[in-house]
A = this chain, B = another copy of it.
């Protein structure tokens, strides 16, 4: 699949992953509506399997292979939610997963990835070591590489979250996601454009990792390397296919500071009694910072994940 996913592709993805993912709930909060001056809907992908939307893309990728083409399993490198998603999606599909993780990954994440049945291979904490180790694993096992975001099957899988969201809340004016590599952002922009082109797509990004913000300004991908943000899921540079879609269908990217991210995260915890990770708080931080822009609107926010280290909270 190397053309931009059509609506039919996204519908097929949705059907394909429906047995191994959850249709996550949409939540609202009177307190938050009062605080923001708009009607906010939260699509709770923090309740998704493995605790993050990444399960959708990984499942669509893996289940897109015929059983006879995936007997050697799947491999990826990741220190985050993609690791657990590939591990769990492969296991549910009856396949082996090999996950290369940097040796400084948190113990909790390594354990969780192993718990889902994956072989975890530790490597040095740099991009080259990750790629080299993963290539070695693939050469040895014949496993298929699962890209984290710059792939149309991944994008189509992530798009299913916004598809469910728009189907459930038909009256949204705006839909917001964070942007890191851009799998979810591009998928959301695509499906919003297909289902209701009047919905504005707004992305949130940490100021400290503002590659997409700057890339949209300059018209070409602006790389970042290991930015120092608490939003650890958003440290990567936007992918090519992702940037292409985002250029076409996203209204704007708005950046927020580290403090704004942490404050937004705490408000969600306190008011909604749900656990979200820092990356996930970014769009809500954007909303809190720009209340006038969204006043009176119906705003949908995809809460992307809830995997945090409870012994190391920022508040």
Contact = CB atoms under 8 A, between A and B. Distances in A.
Contacts of A53: none
Contact of A275 (B27, B49, B51, B274): B274
Interface residues of A, number: 20
Interface string A38-51: 00000000110101
Contacts of A49: 30
A47 B275 contact: no
A73 to B, nearest CB: 22
A139 interface: no
Interface string A271-289: 0111110000000000000
A266 interface: yes
A25 B315 CA distance: 28
Contacts of A273: 46-47, 51, 274-276, 306
Nearest to A309: B270
Interface in A46-86: 46-47, 49, 51
Interface of A: 25, 27, 30, 46-47, 49, 51, 266, 269-270, 272-276, 306, 310-311, 313, 315
11 contacts: A27-B47, A30-B49, A47-B272, A47-B273, A269-B275, A273-B274, A273-B275, A273-B276, A274-B274, A311-B315, A313-B313
